[in-house]
Every structure is written in structure tokens, then in C-alpha cells.
């Protein structure tokens, strides 16, 4: 007689983090939000607004508060369904900071100090916030708190994810099985959108001048695309090395419409096509954002519900960590 052993598929929980340091832009939408929204039917996700991270550099308190609420509003407007994907503000779950401290007790100073992002961000001179050094440990806490199995990460966050995995494994070895060790994933459809003015750099909230914020008015979008860097080759073709600007425009068009530029075409025709595609994408998001902005209490309610939903998971994890590491109940 043969026995078949069937193992239940492992539960998947994904955590995507956003820093409220600026307006969400086309890169965030195509690289992070759309994959999150597309996976809502099949994958449990948490969308985390990492407001504590926004304080690791010089910050303006009122703009962090405003951007936190606004990012949540944009997420809803873009199609995040809070019933399936809780939107969570990091600072509203106290366990993030508690677990941060406990993880600092298994992290070494040298591990934090060698993070590339720390070196880059601290290179400019002037006072460096201690929280900038310890921020990857807080990010590890964000991830481990929710028994996250998958973390969508861009290259710049790989090292931080590795640290989270190292700390989880070390804690488990020293103090008993406590944390799920997460994997980094690249969602199937994730695109990497480059800055339109400086197409060798990724579009970012605070870098570059060729950024399309999701709430930019149509004239601003038209202008940004009209000014997008191209080249003198005059050929509409993908060649990331020699024609990064044109390649970026082609990739954005393909991501939005699933098609290649009309052929034969010119740079100005390509830009027109991209402008139309972005307009078609963003017009409904802007309209929905305007509706939601008229009702900030609704958005705050969504955040409160998101927090209520994930808090028990966070409390259970911190409970395990506290007892493993030697704290009284």
C-alpha cells in the first residue's frame, strides 16, 4: 500500500513598503502598486506606509503627516482594496518600534554601518541621525512582524532584505523558532521606470527632475514627457545602453498598453503615444483621488481598520520574541 503525503501549500503573505517622503509617482505605480493590485485575488498583501522611516533624514513634521494620508488616498484611488489588502501606517502599530529594539539586540553595529544606502545617505556631511544607521533594523522589524513570506524589492533594498533574513535566522537559532524567514520577490509584471530627464537613474520621489507624480495635472505631464531626454539617433528602438531615454519611453508604453510604438514613428509621435497612455491611466485615479480627498475621515477609517486587522499578528510575533529573548510576560 502506498501512502501519499500531501503538504498544504505554504501560506503566502507579501509586504510592500512605501516611504511618505514625497508624492507617489509612475515608478511606484507600475513597479509596486499595480503588481500589488493585480495579485489581490490570489495573494495576501499588506501595504505599509513607513512613516517612521521618513524621519531618518531631515523632515518636516506637517509634510510627513500630509503625505502619509495622501499616499493612503492615492493607493485607494489606484485600486488597492482595503478589505483584502490592509493599508497600514507603521507608527500606528507600536509593535514596530518594540520589535525594532529587540532586533537591535541581535544586530551588530558593523552590519548596520556597512549598508550601502547608509553610506550613501550619510556621505553628504552634516549631522547623521542615529535612526538612519538603525533604519534597516526597523525595516527588518516591519517585515518580520507580520510573518511575511515575500517582500517585493528593487535592487536598492536587496541588502536590507538580506539583513532581515540574517536577523530572523540568528534570532531563531539563539532564542527558538520565532520568525518566518522572508524571501525577496520580483512580481511578474514589475516594471522599472527610469527618470524621464535622466533616464539612467530610476524615477524616485526625491531624485531627478523627470518624475511624473500620480496627481500631476495633465499639462505638467505633457510638459515632462515633451522634455523627456531622447538622443540624436532618431531611431525608435530598445537599446538601453545607447538610447536609455527612448528605451524608457518604449517600455512605459508597452507596460501601459501592451503594445509597441506604431511603426514607423518619430520621437514626437512616440511621446504623444506615451502621453495619451499615461493620461488614460491617471485620469480615473485623479478623479477618484479628488472624491476621496473630500472625505479624509473615510481614509482615516480605512487606516484604522487596516491597523485593527494586522495588530493581532504583530502582537503575537512580539509576544514570541519577548518570551524567547528573556522578558517577563
Q: Binding segment for ligand ADP among 71-79, 186-194, 215-223, 255-263 (CB under 6 A)?
A: 186-194
**Contacts with ligand ADP, 286-325, as mask; x by CB under 6 A:** ----------------------------------------
C-alpha 19 chain-centroid distance = 7
Instruction: Tell which positions 68-97 bind ligand ADP, by CB under 6 A.
Output: none
Q: Does 100 bind ligand ADP (CB under 6 A)?
A: no
What are the cell numbers at 188? 511578474
In the block, cell 501560506 appears at: 11
CB of 171 to ligand TRP, least distance (A): 17
Handedness of CA 194, 16, 280, 254 (dihedral sign): positive
Active-site residue flag, 121: yes
Q: What is the dihedral of CA 63, 68, 69, 75, to 10 degrees?
A: 130
Instruction: Tell which positions 36-55 bind ligand TRP, by CB under 6 A.
Output: 48, 50, 53
In the complex, residue closest to ligand ADP by CB: 31
3-state secondary structure of 211: coil
Q: Does 15 bind ligand TRP (CB under 6 A)?
A: yes
What are the cell numbers at 39? 495579485
Active-site residue flag, 119: no
* 141/253 with CB nearer ligand TRP: 141
Alpha helices in the chain (DSSP H): 26-28, 34-38, 61-78, 95-104, 109-113, 116-121, 130-145, 158-175, 218-226, 244-257, 267-293, 296-325
Q: Does 184 bind ligand ADP (CB under 6 A)?
A: no
3-state helix, strand, coil in the chain (%, to 5): 55, 10, 40
Q: Which does 192 bind (CB under 5 to 8 A by kind): ligand ADP, ligand TRP, none?
A: ligand ADP
DSSP string covering 131-146: HHHHHHHHHHHHHHHT
Of 119, 121, 271, 309, which one is the catalytic site residue?
A: 121
Q: Does 191 bind ligand TRP (CB under 6 A)?
A: no
Which residues are catalytic, by number?
A: 121, 202, 205
Interface with ligand TRP by CB under 6 A: which residues? 15, 17, 19, 48, 50, 53, 139, 142-143, 151, 157
Amino acid at each position: 500500500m502506498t501512502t501519499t503525503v500531501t503538504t498544504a501549500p505554504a501560506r503566502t503573505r507579501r509586504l510592500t513598503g512605501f516611504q511618505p517622503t514625497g508624492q507617489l509617482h509612475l515608478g511606484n505605480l507600475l513597479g509596486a502598486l499595480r503588481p500589488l493590485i493585480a495579485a489581490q485575488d490570489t495573494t495576501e498583501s499588506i501595504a505599509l506606509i513607513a512613516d517612521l522611516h521618513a524621519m531618518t533624514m531631515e523632515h518636516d513634521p506637517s509634510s510627513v503627516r500630509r503625505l502619509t494620508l495622501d499616499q493612503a488616498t492615492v493607493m485607494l484611488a489606484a485600486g488597492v482594496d482595503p478589505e483584502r489588502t490592509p493599508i497600514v501606517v507603521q507608527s500606528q502599530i507600536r509593535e514596530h518600534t518594540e520589535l525594532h529594539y529587540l532586533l537591535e539586540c541581535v544586530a551588530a553595529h558593523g552590519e548596520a554601518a556597512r549598508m550601502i544606502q547608509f553610506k550613501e545617505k550619510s556621505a553628504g556631511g552634516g549631522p547623521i541621525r542615529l535612526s538612519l544607521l538603525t533604519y534597516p533594523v526597523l525595516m527588518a522589524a516591519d517585515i518580520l512582524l507580520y510573518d511575511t513570506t515575500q517582500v517585493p524589492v528593487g535592487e536598492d533594498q536587496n541588502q536590507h532584505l538580506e539583513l532581515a533574513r540574517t536577523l530572523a535566522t540568528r534570532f531563531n537559532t539563539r532564542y527558538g523558532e520565532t520568525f518566518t524567514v522572508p524571501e525577496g520577490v520580483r512580481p511578474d509584471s514589475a516594471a522599472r521606470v527610469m527618470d524621464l530627464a535622466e533616464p539612467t537613474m530610476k524615477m524616485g520621489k526625491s531624485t531627478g527632475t523627470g518624475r511624473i507624480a500620480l496627481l500631476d495635472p495633465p499639462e505638467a505631464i505633457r510638459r515632462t514627457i515633451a522634455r523627456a531626454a531622447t538622443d540624436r539617433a532618431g531611431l525608435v528602438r530598445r537599446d538601453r545602453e545607447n538610447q536609455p531615454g527612448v528605451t524608457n519611453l518604449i517600455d512605459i508604453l508597452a507596460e501601459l498598453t501592451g503594445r509597441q510604438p506604431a511603426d514607423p514613428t518619430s520621437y514626437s509621435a512616440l511621446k504623444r503615444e506615451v502621453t495619451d497612455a499615461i493620461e488614460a491611466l491617471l485620469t480615473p485615479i485623479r478623479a477618484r483621488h479628488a472624491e476621496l480627498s473630500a472625505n479624509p475621515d473615510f481614509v482615516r477609517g480605512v487606516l484604522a481598520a487596516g491597523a485593527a486587522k494586522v495588530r493581532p499578528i504583530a502582537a503575537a510575533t512580539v509576544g514570541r520574541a519577548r518570551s524567547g529573548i528573556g522578558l517577563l510576560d
